[in-house]
């Protein structure tokens, strides 16, 4: 079974809260390979191997569980690797609603980390999903959601054969009146905008694709997100430069924390899980929510695994987050 993660469970009182659902159509096991100084075209000795959960939706579900938030994970898994994925989710207290097939095998991704903490991610394409497979999962998902539940759609569906898969999933969101948190790219992001998601979290490249023009500076980001007044909350990730947020009639610029980095592969997913937790399960002020989410992302960066974070560490760092109104 993969390593759980770096972190400790923290419980909020969520007894009366709506269920949060995640969906991951291409889950994975991440194999983290630690080496010394990488040398091309020769043998590089692997010093340590760690296994943990992969896939954006799986990461968000795991982060929610660390934060004490009840959630249900939908997905499709295959073979022994698929069983490992499901067992890792279950061990975190997540309600697993996966479809499992005996063969072939769910994908394994590889994260190569050298002595300088440079991280190189190698991702398998994953099992090609038939239309029958995705339709079956979507029927179960529609039956398992209540009106007003929240759903996080993260990642893409590049391994699915159904050309209408984006529309089918988004129609479920409409019919069930689900509160949509969208952290996707490509077709899911473009078509998801029409569902008026509660929150989107594009990076600069994804925002540029939506705006159909280059986006880099703060002014360009603000101009691009102004085209979507119907979306209550937008957070644009700018990597090491922090983020820009619009919501509640305000616009803010947040700056990342400088921390010793283990790897950065799951930091955006950790941030998304913290936003979901605070928006859906607490009544914290907006700036406190943004500061906490930023600290959770930094705590994730400090971990050696691609998923998980130390909640208490994030709480200690929250007060160090710098946020400016713009």
Mean pLDDT estimate for the chain: 91
Burial status of residue 168 (CB atoms within 10 A of its CB: 0-12, 13-18, 19 or more):
middle
Region 190-219: mean pLDDT is 93
Query: In 3-state terms, what secondary structure has residue 136?
Result: helix
- What's the rounded Cα separation, in Å, for the pair 154 and 133? 19
> What does the pLDDT look like over 16-49, one tens digit per residue?
568 999 999 999 999 999 999 999 999 999 999 9
- What's the rounded Cα separation, in Å, for the pair 141 and 265? 28
How many helices (H) does the chain have, and how many strands (E)?
A: 10, 14
Percent of the chain with pLDDT over 70: 95
H or E element in which residue 133 lies: helix 131-144
Token pair listed for 233: 């909350």
- What's the rounded Cα separation, in Å, for the pair 134 and 54? 19
Please give the pLDDT value at position 36.
93
pTM, to two decimals:
0.91
Place of tokens 């340590």: 48
> What does the pLDDT look like over 160-200, one tens digit per residue?
999 999 899 999 999 999 999 999 988 888 888 888 999 99
Q: Decide: 129 and 145 in contact? Cβ < 8 Å.
A: no
Pick the CATH number of 20-325 from 2.60.40.790, 2.130.10.10, 3.40.50.300, 3.40.1190.20: 3.40.1190.20
- Nearest to 302, CA basis, from 255, 254, 270, 276: 270
């Amino acid at each position: 079974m993969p390593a759980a993660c770096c972190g400790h469970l923290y419980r909020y009182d969520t007894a009366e809260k709506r269920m949060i659902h995640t969906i991951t159509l291409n889950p994975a096991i991440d194999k983290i390979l630690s080496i010394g100084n990488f040398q091309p075209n020769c043998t590089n000795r692997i010093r340590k191997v760690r296994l943990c959960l992969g896939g954006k939706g799986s990461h968000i579900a795991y982060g929610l569980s660390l934060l004490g938030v009840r959630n249900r994970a939908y997905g499709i898994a295959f073979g022994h690797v698929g069983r490992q994925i499901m067992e890792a989710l279950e061990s975190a207290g997540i309600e697993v609603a996966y479809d499992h097939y005996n063969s072939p095998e769910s994908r394994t991704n590889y994260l190569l980390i050298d002595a300088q903490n440079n991280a190189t991610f190698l991702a398998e394409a994953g099992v090609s999903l038939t239309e029958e497979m995705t339709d079956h999962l979507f029927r179960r998902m529609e039956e398992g959601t209540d009106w007003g539940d929240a759903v996080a759609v993260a990642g893409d569906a590049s391994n699915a054969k159904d050309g209408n898969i984006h529309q089918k999933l988004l129609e479920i969101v409409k019919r069930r009146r689900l509160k949509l948190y969208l952290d996707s790219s490509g077709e899911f992001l473009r078509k998801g905008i029409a569902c008026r998601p509660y929150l989107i979290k594009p990076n600069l490249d994804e925002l540029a694709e939506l705006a159909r023009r280059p986006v880099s500076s703060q002014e360009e980001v603000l101009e691009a997100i102004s085209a979507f007044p119907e979306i209550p909350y937008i957070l644009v990730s700018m990597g090491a430069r922090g983020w820009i947020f619009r919501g509640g009639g305000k616009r803010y610029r947040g700056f990342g924390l400088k921390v010793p980095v283990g790897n950065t592969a799951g930091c955006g997913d950790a941030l998304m899980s913290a936003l979901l937790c605070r928006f859906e399960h607490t009544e914290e002020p907006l700036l406190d929510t943004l500061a906490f989410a930023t600290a959770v992302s930094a705590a994730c960066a400090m971990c050696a695994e691609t998923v998980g974070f130390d909640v208490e560490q994030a709480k200690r760092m929250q007060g160090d987050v710098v946020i400016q109104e713009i």
